[in-house]
Amino acid sequence: MLSVATLTIGTTALVEMPVSAAAKPKGHDVSSHQKSVNWPKAKSKGARFVYVKATESHTYRNPYYGQQYHGARNAGLVRGAYHFALPHKSSGRTQAAYFVHNGGGWRADGWTLPPALDIEYNPYGKKKCYGLSKARMVGWIKSFSNEVKRQTGRRPVIYTNYNWWKMCTGNSSAFASNHALWLARYSSSAGSLPAGWRTWTFWQYDNGGSLPSDQNLFNGSMSRLKKFAKG
């Protein structure tokens, strides 16, 4: 995913989604970079769900959030909101509260995905782990998760990639038992999973394709996606 800054990703877009996952519900994620999205068109191209960036750190809110989040629902997509973490800026609790109060809520209506935490390489500097030790990073994520759970009733989905998770959390297995994994890996296979997780719930397999922005899959049927959303 992209932060407010421009993040250069040295990958080549895949021509097609992975063959092994062709039957799974397709989705995507969007931020302010996509501006006003043509949701009926996205649905006609196969989109069944979307994650919309709501916030970053404790000061930024996506100015296109309303059009994207509500527009997706009006077009018949299951949708949810995600937060781009900047752990060096403020506490996990502070950023979680800001997120929930600015679009990161949840309701058990079958159309609202649980809030998601986007935790990945620092796009603003050379400190890939934001200057935090592995223990402090794990603590930050726990703090964020606890506040989201307290305010919404759901644990956040965790978006990350294996290499960052291994480097910056020490490949912590502390979250696998009660957090769904949204794995980022631009390849034809999901590859290794962070410690503790036996499977991915969402897989971001490419940063471009038929749908606006990043291409994602849900690991299950459409009915299971609705059940996952409902909680």
pLDDT tens-place string over residues 31-48 = 999 999 999 999 999 999
Would residue 103 be called left, alpha or beta, if left means φ above 0 and alpha means ψ between -120 and 50 degrees? left
CA distance 213 to 231: 27
Would residue 176 be called left, alpha or beta, if left means φ above 0 and alpha means ψ between -120 and 50 degrees? alpha
What is the band of 127 on the pLDDT scale with cuts at 50, 70, 90? Answer: very high
Checking if the pLDDT of 160 tops 80, the result is yes
Question: Which residues carry out catalysis?
Answer: 29, 118, 120
Q: Looking at residue 1, what is its pLDDT?
A: 80
